[in-house]
Amino acid sequence: MALGPGDGASHLAHDVLLHRGFDGADLPRLRVLVAGHAALAGLLEPRRGDFVTAMDAVATNAVQHGGGDGTLVLLHRGGELECRISDRGPGCTGAVLTDLTPRPGGAPGRGGLWLTRLVADRLSVVPGTPGTTVSFAMRLG
């Protein structure tokens, strides 16, 4: 798949691979774009699949709990591939940030951050006013 300027492939800075707003309808295309950029950056399978799964979980959280849309920035930093997803929702509470385990019985909530924490080498969740920014990264190679 060719990645063109309309897909955010042009570099806004030396390490920005993709900068894109999204909503729920954009998630399938976003998965394809992130997978393509991750491959070009050198993230190998099966970690590339884990990275895309984590991105999808965090982006889905942004859509469901963060106001219906978000912004994704994909960065190549040193030996890492980093994904930052920001939303404009009400923000997270400290309780969500300290307990990222899924809720019992498969009840919705927190599963996306829990999964991301399991597969990523680094995860941060920064509540804002409004919104939340979730960043995670994986080492390349």
Indicate which CATH number applies to the domain containing 63. 3.30.565.10
Average pLDDT value for the chain: 84
In a domain, 4, yes or no: no
Phi, psi at 139, each rounded to 5°: -70, 140
In a domain, 63, yes or no: yes
pLDDT given at position 7? 46
| Residue-wise pLDDT tens digits, 46-92 | 999 999 999 999 999 999 988 899 999 999 998 999 999 999 988 77
pLDDT given at position 89? 86
Percent of the chain surpassing pLDDT 70: 77
Residue 106: pLDDT band with limits 50, 70, 90: low
| Alpha helix stretches (DSSP H) within 66-101 | 94-98
In a domain, 6, yes or no: no
pLDDT given at position 105? 59
pLDDT given at position 95? 55
> Collapsing DSSP states into helix, strand and coil, what is residue 106?
helix
| DSSP string of 43-72, one letter each residue | PPTTHHHHHHHHHHHHHHHHHHHTTSEEEE
Residue type, 72: L
In a domain, 89, yes or no: yes
Range of the domain at 124: 16-102+109-139
Give me the number of domains the chain comprises: 1
In a domain, 9, yes or no: no
Report the run of H or E that residue 31 belongs to, with start and end. Answer: helix 27-41
Residue 14: pLDDT band with limits 50, 70, 90: low
Above 50 in pLDDT, residue 107?
A: no
In a domain, 21, yes or no: yes
Q: Give CA–CA dist 110/99, Å, rounded.
A: 8
pLDDT given at position 141? 79
| Residue whose C-alpha is closest to residue 70's, from 134, 138, 4, 137 | 134
pLDDT given at position 41? 96
